[in-house]
Amino acid sequence: MSLDLKLPELADNVQEPEPTEQDIEDVKMREAQAIVDAQVAKNEDALALTDLKKKLSVQVIRLMWLWFILLCIAMTIYFREQFRYSREIPAEVIIAMLTSTTVVVGLVGLILKGLFKVQE
């Protein structure tokens, strides 16, 4: 069982009606509204992105401060124990402390620089 649909033939003399002044004004109004709506959406997107970047940057800075605080606590405990037993602090420990801190600060700077990259 098949459906055999037949469409009526359109006459060759059928033409679209000419647009009226009201139709032209309506189209212009809709185009203008579409442009405004697109700009509003773009602005809302930019605000949401800015808010997201602020939250991410705060989290990255908190991570850096947490690292710094934990490093200070660990180094204070280590130095206190070394001084308690009158031991010399090895140069490798100080180098490791400075290197690890430099790496963390550098990574935070790299992340924040990439996060707030300026588009040209």
- Domain of 86? 30-115
| 49 residue type, one letter | L
Give a yes or no: residue 58 inside a domain.
Answer: yes
- Has residue 20 been placed in a domain? no
Q: For 39-62, what is each residue's pLDDT tens digit?
A: 999 999 999 999 999 999 999 899
The helix/strand/coil state of 13 is coil
Question: From CA 63, how far away is CA 80, in angstroms rounded?
Answer: 26
Q: Is residue 21 part of a domain?
A: no
Mean pLDDT of the chain: 87
Q: What is the pTM of this model?
A: 0.62
- Percent composition of the chain: helix, strand, coil (DSSP 3-state, to 5): 75, 0, 25
Kindly give the interhelix angle for 91-115 and 21-84, rounded to the nearest 10 degrees.
Answer: 170
Number of independent structural domains in the chain: 1
pLDDT band at 76 (very low <50, low <70, confident <90, very high): very high
